[in-house]
Chain A
Amino acid sequence: MTRTRSSESDEDSSPTTTGGGGGRGRTEMRVIVPLQGVVQGRGGLVLGSVIPCALFYLLQLYFKRHRSEPTPPPQTLTEVSELNRSLSRTHLSPRGSSAPACVSTRANSIVKSSDSPFYVGLKRVSEDPYDELSNPEGVIQLGLAENKLSLDLARDWLAETAKDSILSGGGSSGPLSMAGIANYQASDGLVELKVAVAGFMSQVMERSISFNPSQIVLTAGATPAIEILSFCLADTGNAFLVPTPYYPSFDRDLKWRTGVEIIPVPCRSADNFNLSISALDLAFDQGKKRGLKVRGIVISNPSNPVGNLLNRETIYTLVDFAREKNIHIISNEIFAGSTHGSEEFVSMAEIIDSEDLDRDRVHIVYGLSKDLCLPGFKVGVIYSSNENVLAAAKKLSRFSSISAPTQCLVISMLSDIRFIQKFIQTNRERLQRMYTKFVAGLKQLGIECMRSSGGFYCWADMRGLIRSYSEKGELELWNKLLNIAKINVTPGSSCHCIEPGWFHCCFTTLTEQDISVVMERIRKVSETCKSPR
């Protein structure tokens, strides 16, 4: 662009130059000619392209200098007021006119990042939680995927064995080992816990997959497990494909500190929100066109807001797709044991088990927060057979290791096979019963749910209740449900769902009696919504 411009202007000026100097002295000519060469000919072209570039470079340099200096100070106001108060020591230093200390731009963006309705709702509930007896007017929590249905089982077990299990360092009846809990331990988890977790995983996934404890890295919850994988698989500016609707916190876990981008791959209600490879392919190409380097796909199986499972065929096509594009797959299987349908859960671990090249590109995230109902314990799992990923993740686990007493507690809990067996079974039955009741309750109100067979939640279609078929309408309904009906559900838009009117409702923090209260509250709002139509 600039090049053509400059050569045009050269040609404008040069003919007139010759015209002007036409009949004049030769000496002048001699001077002019070489100059003409410079301006008109190749030299002009070179200069014409070189000068703008140089200027551009200088401009960039200028911008760079200026950008790094005035980082937007968010706390100016508070500090300005403190500045005039500061006394004695300020006067000691002659150059004492300093600005407030700025925090980093990434911290600023984390602080400023407006909370999505998902987080707003969670906060509202924590401020005014519903309690059947002490706070019947409070907000009912349907936004947090937490299972309280089987807490009694965990409580009974802990009441009996907690002390012994911690003091024995996790062994069933070993001698007291204070050193086992007080001292420094391997940051990626005790080997005994890895063995126990591997056993639990294969028990939960019900199939003949065995997990190799040496391929496990333990972290303080699944959240850092996801972040560590994101750090290991992608560099700043790279991207992951994530089918929508997805778990709202992926936006924090995958992106915040890693600088990685998420490319949403929309799934639609017409396909039952199933993942389609053509949509993946499209998103991959679009990412490429935008100059983004796609490093992997992140899936949740069972899917998080929807609750459906990936069947074996889809998993194989996914792996084929990943191989074709030479990218990774992160499979978040944290709800693997919390299934309630008849459908069979297929773990990505089957791929890792196979003797294929593909095992290096598949990484599984797991945790005990959902299937063992112990989110407070903060135990997350990275399972991978990629040596580089394992080596890096083990070293990075120093930033999120699990405390030893908790590990000992979990070791003996998981080693109690009979308890675990009973727990898994009872928990599934209870989950199934709640799911059936909750969905039936919604159905009475005319709200259909997507058929699902995993997770603590259902994906409810409230398109009939929103006034304008848009994100605005959806958020209006969400707001009414939160502030009038006092129930906190997660709107589809927080999960980046492309279609408005879908809501994520977790029913496992409720008791059975609560269901009727919830339905009553939704009914009140839905009637006000329907009447004007």
Chain B
Amino acid sequence: MNHSRSRRNPTREPDFPTVKPPSPGGSSSGGAGAAMRLIVPLQGVVQGRGGLILGSIIPGALYYFFQLYLKRCRSAKPNSNPPSPSSSSAQLADLSRSSSRSNLSSRGSVGPVRVSARANSIAKPNASPYYIGLEMASEDPYDRFDNPDGIMQLGLSENRLSLDLIETWILENLERSMIGGADGHLNISGIATYQPLDGMMEMKIAVAGFMSQVMGTTVSFDPSRLVLTSGATPAIETLCFCLADQGNAFLVPTPYYPGFDRDMKWRTGVELIPVHCRSSDNFALSVTALDQAFNQARKRGQKVRGILISNPSNPIGNMLNKETLYSLLDFAREKNIHIISDEIFAGSTYGSEEFVSMAEILESEDFDKNRVHIIYGLSKDLSLPGFRVGVIYSFNTSVLAAAKKLARFSSVSAPTQRILISMLSDTRFIQRYIETTRERIKKMYVAFAAGLKQLGIECTKSSAGLYCWADMSGLIRPYNEKGELELWDKLLKIGKINITPGSACHCIEPGWFRCCFTMLAEEDIPVVIKRIQRVVET
């Protein structure tokens, strides 16, 4: 700091030489001209341009000092900042009780020990209705027989429609897959010992095969570009760490998956800039809105490092068509930013529309592949969220290298990898599984949307995902977020169904709700509809 301070002096000197030179000249000639010569520049400084300079410089300096002051105060503050009340009161009680050992140290007058500021903000109780609803539903879950008055879970996008298929496969094959080898001899070092942190090669090959099978076999995925993580959640976080630094930002079209706020921001220090999509466009992404958000962020001095899209989109269920993907790529190149494409629902489609992966576009034409990164996982398309398998697929060698090293913090356990390797390699089972699941999702979607329609609730046209995006704006009393949350609260507490309000997804229009229907059995649909009806009528 000192260094740069003294270095700045040269820039200041030009002011003074203009004052100084007159002095030798003035004393030798002794004329009035000398004084004049002296006055004029000084006058210039105070009155003319100089005044302008000073006028801008002085506030600048003061502002700088002010900043410095604030900084000092802030870094000192945590010492005086009380922790959350619950713990402090508990600790106060402890203080009086603490005996022997605290007396040993002479300077023993210490307060309770503090956790980091970031932990404090994370530890705060959930504020988002998304998490509150999930919690309430898990405390009192509906069961047709055991707990018919429980809360029905429509807030979690989990697919339970095809568990029977998985179950049959596991019953038949578990032993073989874990114990491995045709000789029936347990290969213990294959599961118990240290394995590559970013996933076994066999697993990467199996997952790459599954991905191209799911995405319609037009794309092939290169296993060496895969990094496996324990779920898609750490995959997203790892990418965020790799692409952006603290204080940078990502553009995210709204409404978006509520978990992004945790995955992208919590530990990375990255910001999300919502790019609003509207019901009048069927919530389709528009590049003009992206451009506007990008420019606004730039004006605020924020550095945008990328766009995060989910395709199929998470709360809506629509898909990006080829044209949109092309314009997105053009936009990203123009602004020189990255694209993270979350394609975790790629296989859970039920419409006639065809899913197009980013990877397919990149293969077909000569785009700059280095800026595109795909997120995938087995939680949705293989209905195995409990297995915690996520995928980063990237063309960027630096990102891959960093992600492989960061995989040490979220590796998949070896027994799970063994089971999945043999499950995914069973192509015939997978083929049948994908087809059956699609049919079942479609059937549920039709039944569920029809049920809502009877109540006068329309859903946005969607063709993928485990949910529908329902328009209940006609049911909310004040047409704003408050009204939306009131309805959500009623549905949760009176109707006993947990759905996700649009505001949790940062939707700009009130009255939209995401309802996941794949946790239900078909028989449950009339129950849900009846419960909604009861609330609607009040």
Asked whether B115 lies within 8 Å of A98 as measured between CB atoms, the reply is no
Q: Does A108 contact B (CB under 8 A)?
A: yes
- When distances are taken between beta carbons in the complex, the residues of chain B under 8 Å from A58 are 60
Q: Does B193 contact A (CB under 8 A)?
A: yes
- When distances are taken between beta carbons in the complex, the residues of chain A under 8 Å from B156 are 184
Name A1's contact: one of B2, B60, B263, B337 (CB within 8 Å). Answer: B2
Asked whether B408 lies within 8 Å of A223 as measured between CB atoms, the reply is yes
Q: Does A178 contact B (CB under 8 A)?
A: yes
Interface string of B89-106 (1 = CB under 8 A from A): 011001101100110110
Name B108's contact: one of A13, A253, A324 (CB within 8 Å). Answer: A324
Asked whether A395 lies within 8 Å of B63 as measured between CB atoms, the reply is no
Which A residues between 225 and 284 are near B, CB-CB below 8 angstroms? 227, 231-236, 238, 249, 252-253, 256-259
Q: A55-B8, A98-B336 are in contact. Are A75 and B397 (CB under 8 A)?
A: yes
Asked whether B5 lies within 8 Å of A399 as measured between CB atoms, the reply is no
- When distances are taken between beta carbons in the complex, the residues of chain A under 8 Å from B22 are 16-17, 20
Asked whether A155 lies within 8 Å of B57 as measured between CB atoms, the reply is no
Asked whether A101 lies within 8 Å of B338 as measured between CB atoms, the reply is yes
Looking at A5, A93, A111, A322, which has the most chain B CB atoms within 10 Å of its CB? A111
- When distances are taken between beta carbons in the complex, the residues of chain A under 8 Å from B337 are 101
Q: Does A133 contact B (CB under 8 A)?
A: no
Query: How far apart sit A258 and B268, CA to CA, in the bound complex (Å)?
Result: 9
- When distances are taken between beta carbons in the complex, the residues of chain A under 8 Å from B98 are 355-357
Asked whether A388 lies within 8 Å of B366 as measured between CB atoms, the reply is no
Nearest B residue to A20 via CB reads: B26
Query: How far apart sit A159 and B379, CA to CA, in the bound complex (Å)?
Result: 28
Looking at B108, B110, B111, which has the most chain A CB atoms within 10 Å of its CB? B110
Which A residues between 41 and 80 are near B, CB-CB below 8 angstroms? 47, 50-60, 68, 74-75, 78-79
A78 CB to nearest B CB, Å? 7
Looking at B42, B63, B189, B389, which has the most chain A CB atoms within 10 Å of its CB? B42
Name B116's contact: one of A159, A234, A320, A355 (CB within 8 Å). Answer: A234
B310 CB to nearest A CB, Å? 18
Which A residues between 206 and 229 are near B, CB-CB below 8 angstroms? 220-221, 223-224, 227
Name B330's contact: one of A59, A92, A107, A319 (CB within 8 Å). Answer: A92
Query: How far apart sit A375 and B16, CA to CA, in the bound complex (Å)?
Result: 71
Q: A31-B39, A155-B188, A403-B388 are in contact. Are A38 and B46 (CB under 8 A)?
A: yes
Asked whether A17 lies within 8 Å of B23 as measured between CB atoms, the reply is yes
- When distances are taken between beta carbons in the complex, the residues of chain B under 8 Å from A103 are 242-243, 396, 398-399, 402
Q: A182-B386, A235-B118, A400-B230 are in contact. Are A51 and B61 (CB under 8 A)?
A: yes
Looking at B83, B385, B386, which has the most chain A CB atoms within 10 Å of its CB? B386
Interface SS of chain A: helix, strand, loop or mixed?
helix
Name A320's contact: one of B101, B230, B244 (CB within 8 Å). Answer: B101
Asked whether A376 lies within 8 Å of B191 as measured between CB atoms, the reply is yes
Partner-contacting stretch, out of A81-89, A302-310, A445-453, A520-528: A81-89
Name A24's contact: one of B20, B35, B120, B234 (CB within 8 Å). Answer: B35
- When distances are taken between beta carbons in the complex, the residues of chain B under 8 Å from A1 are 2, 5-6
Q: Does A432 contact B (CB under 8 A)?
A: no
Q: Does A519 contact B (CB under 8 A)?
A: no
A288 CB to nearest B CB, Å? 13
Q: Does B262 contact A (CB under 8 A)?
A: yes
- When distances are taken between beta carbons in the complex, the residues of chain A under 8 Å from B111 are 326
Asked whether B194 lies within 8 Å of A238 as measured between CB atoms, the reply is no
Q: Does B419 contact A (CB under 8 A)?
A: yes
Q: Does B36 contact A (CB under 8 A)?
A: yes
Q: Does B405 contact A (CB under 8 A)?
A: yes
B455 CB to nearest A CB, Å? 29
- When distances are taken between beta carbons in the complex, the residues of chain B under 8 Å from A379 are 413
Query: How far apart sit A388 and B303, CA to CA, in the bound complex (Å)?
Result: 32
Asked whether A388 lies within 8 Å of B87 as measured between CB atoms, the reply is yes
- When distances are taken between beta carbons in the complex, the residues of chain A under 8 Å from B501 are none
Q: Does B436 contact A (CB under 8 A)?
A: no
- When distances are taken between beta carbons in the complex, the residues of chain B under 8 Å from A178 are 163, 166-167, 170
Name A223's contact: one of B91, B246, B409 (CB within 8 Å). Answer: B409
Partner-contacting stretch, out of B144-152, B171-179, B311-319, B349-357: B171-179
Asked whether A184 lies within 8 Å of B398 as measured between CB atoms, the reply is no
Query: How far apart sit A378 and B263, CA to CA, in the bound complex (Å)?
Result: 21
- When distances are taken between beta carbons in the complex, the residues of chain A under 8 Å from B246 are 236, 259
Asked whether A176 lies within 8 Å of B386 as measured between CB atoms, the reply is no
A89 CB to nearest B CB, Å? 6
A102 CB to nearest B CB, Å? 8
Interface string of A377-395 (1 = CB under 8 A from B): 1110000001111011001
20 more A-B residue pairs beyond the given contacts A17-B22, A86-B368, A399-B409, with a C-beta to C-beta distance below 8 A: A13-B16, A20-B27, A106-B245, A110-B402, A110-B405, A159-B179, A162-B174, A163-B174, A181-B387, A182-B385, A184-B379, A220-B412, A235-B118, A256-B406, A320-B101, A355-B98, A356-B101, A389-B123, A403-B388, A404-B386
What are some 19 contacts across the A-B interface (CB < 8 A)?
A: A17-B22, A35-B43, A55-B57, A57-B64, A75-B396, A98-B333, A107-B241, A162-B174, A176-B171, A182-B166, A183-B385, A233-B116, A293-B75, A326-B113, A357-B102, A388-B83, A396-B267, A399-B230, A402-B230
Interface residues of B (CB under 8 A from A): 2, 4-6, 8-9, 11-12, 16, 19-20, 22-24, 26-27, 30, 32, 34-36, 38-39, 42-43, 46, 54, 57-58, 60-65, 75, 83-84, 86-87, 90-91, 94-95, 97-98, 101-102, 104-105, 107-108, 110-120, 122-123, 156, 158, 160, 163, 166-167, 170-171, 174-175, 178-179, 186, 188-195, 230-231, 233-234, 237, 241-246, 248, 262-263, 266-267, 269, 303, 305, 326, 329-330, 332-338, 365-368, 370-371, 379, 383-389, 396-399, 401-402, 405-406, 408-416, 419
Q: Lowest 10 A-B CB distances belong to which pairs?
A: A20-B26, A16-B23, A376-B414, A404-B386, A21-B35, A101-B371, A155-B188, A54-B57, A232-B119, A57-B64
